[in-house]
Amino acid sequence: MPDMKLYLPIAVAVASIVSAGQVMAKEMDMSKVTCKEVGALPAGKTIAVALWVNGYVHGKAGNPVIDSDKAQANAEKVADYCKSNPNSTLANAIEALK
């Protein structure tokens, strides 16, 4: 029997991408978008941005493995940074993870 812990994050990511993709029609320049702009997005778009951030961070690190606990922790760190720095760019929030 397959290990469900392995497939659950994949299933959640796919479901999130599908639902977020339906509401994310507008293109966003991720190098310029601010925390305030991300915070004003509907939940579906926020999920899409969070997935993008996770993929970006993993891609920069050359790491194709997704650790759902670490991804959630990083998303919370970015959210905390953005709450304190709403006019900061999302790129700066990502850099703050380091």
| Burial label, 28 (beta-carbon count in 10 A; 0-12, 13-18, 19+) | middle
- Return the half-sphere exposure (C-beta side, CA atoms, 13 A cut-off) of residue 96: 18
Check whether 32 has a pLDDT greater than 70.
yes
Q: Say which CATH number the domain at 55 has.
A: 1.10.890
The whole-number average pLDDT for the span 5-18 is 52
Decide: 22 and 44 in contact? Cβ < 8 Å. Answer: yes
pLDDT digits (tens, 9 = 90+) for 35-44: 999 888 888 8
Rounded Cα gap, residues 40 and 22, in angstroms: 17
Amino acid at 28: M
Decide: 93 and 57 in contact? Cβ < 8 Å. Answer: no
Supply the pTM of this predicted model.
0.65
- Domain, as residue range, for 15: 4-22+29-95
**What is the domain count for the chain?**
1
Helix, strand, coil shares, percent, the chain, to 5: 70, 0, 30
Mean pLDDT (the chain) is 77
Rounded Cα gap, residues 18 and 93, in angstroms: 25
